[in-house]
Amino acid sequence: MYKVGITGGIGSGKTTVCKVFEVLGIPVFYADTEAKDIMMKDSLLIDGIKSTFGAASYFEDGKLNNKHIASIVFNNEAELTKLNALVHPAVFRAFDAWEETISSNVPYTLKEAALLFESGSYKMCDTTILVTAPLETKLKRVMQRDGVSAEQVKARMDRQLSDEEKAKLASHFITNDEEHSIIEQVLCLHRQFLLAAKSN
Ligand code: ATP
């Protein structure tokens, strides 16, 4: 199955763009939501997290102890790398299992991931889209959506690759500012992907 990876900085609107693809009948795998889900379901991953970060990583009822994990990985690159090395392969497994459930009549699938490039996940996609928006627009959107300060959004942004770095690895671009229509851009890419998937 032809696979399209889609990413963008925080507040760029990648999830919003994915909703437009969904309207066109394209199934979307939301890697970040899935990651949270499998941290409580994938027994291999749970065992790995417990043995790396301690039994306190989970409460007795099986729920993830976010505060415990965050206190270890926050501002600690080496520990964050360890967590990612456990979570990313588990998300890849979940994506493969999800794809098995998709009808063969579907022309292509979309994988939405904030860390598409950082995780290496883009290498498993046939093509990629980078959603971009001006910094001020991204800040405004996330502050409004999550009720957080500009500083908190910027701190989250600092933990991701810059748009310039991502652009070097991306195949297609969607500009989600206040002047361009995302619907037209999605339709244009959709036509290209239908052709590419056919000849794949
Ligand atoms: P994150 O990485 O934080 O999950 P994201 O890139 O997935 O962010 P979205 O959640 O799609 O971004 O969008 C952020 C906010 O901006 C949402 O509240 C969304 O409704 C709004 N938004 C996105 N695109 C537009 C747009 N073109 N016009 C108006 N609002 C928009």
The predicted complex's ipTM stands at: 0.97
Token pair recorded at residue 80: 């964050």
Please tell me the distance between residue 181's alpha carbon and the centre of ligand 1 in angstroms: 14
Name which residue sits closest to atom 16 of ligand 1, judged by CA.
141
Q: What is the CATH number of domain 33-101?
A: 3.40.50.300
Residue 153 burial (CB count, 10 A): 21
Element (H, E) at 173: strand 172-175
Measured between alpha carbons, how far is 80 from 88 in angstroms, rounded to an integer? 12
pLDDT digits (tens, 9 = 90+) for 83-106: 999 999 999 999 999 999 999 999
81 is in an annotated binding site: no
Domain with CATH 3.40.50.300 in the chain: 1-27+107-200, 33-101
180: left (phi over 0), alpha (psi -120 to 50) or beta: beta
Closest CA to 137 of 177, 103, 168, 99: 177
Token pair recorded at residue 73: 């990985």
- What is the model's pTM? 0.93
12 is in an annotated binding site: yes
Q: What pLDDT is attached to residue 106?
A: 96
Name which residue sits closest to atom 20 of ligand 1, judged by CA.
16
pLDDT average, residue stretch 29-40 = 95
Q: What is the CATH number of domain 1-27+107-200?
A: 3.40.50.300
Map residue 119 onto helix, strand or coil.
coil
